[in-house]
Amino acid sequence: MAGRSLCLTRSSVPGTPFPPPVQQPSTPGPDLLALEEEYKRLNAELQAKTADVVQQAKEIIMHIEAAKMLSFTEEEFMKALEWGNS
């Protein structure tokens, strides 16, 4: 038995077929980590822009409400002036 090696391979063991060979894509796929980083960057940018738009909307609403209150007080002031002249 000297000089002979006992070598078992998948093909020598009955009932265990070889797995299919791994096929390499013909064109390289996108770098998924780079895509993930790009999407994270875009998401952060979108969140920042959304926060800006929400802040601007709040300021506009505040100015509209202030303008309504000012308009109401001007009307009352005009009535008060007319009442004082009568």
pLDDT by residue for the chain (86 residues), tens digit each?
A: 555 655 555 555 567 777 778 777 666 667 899 999 999 999 999 999 999 999 999 999 999 998 888 877 778 888 888 876 66
Give Cβ neighbours of residue 10 (< 8 Å, ≥ 6 apart): 16, 17, 18
DSSP secondary structure letter of residue 22: P
Task: Establish if 53 belongs to a structural domain.
Answer: yes
What pLDDT is recorded for position 54? 97
Phi-psi bin for 83: left (phi > 0), alpha (psi -120 to 50), beta?
A: alpha
Give, as one character, the DSSP assignment of residue 12. G
Total domains present in the chain: 1
User: In which domain, by residue range, is 40 found?
Assistant: 31-85
Does a structural domain hold residue 17?
no
Q: What is the pLDDT of residues 58-81, one digit of tens each?
A: 999 999 998 888 877 778 888 888
Output the pLDDT for position 40.
97
Q: 14 near 8, Cβ under 8 Å?
A: no
- Is residue 50 in some structural domain? yes
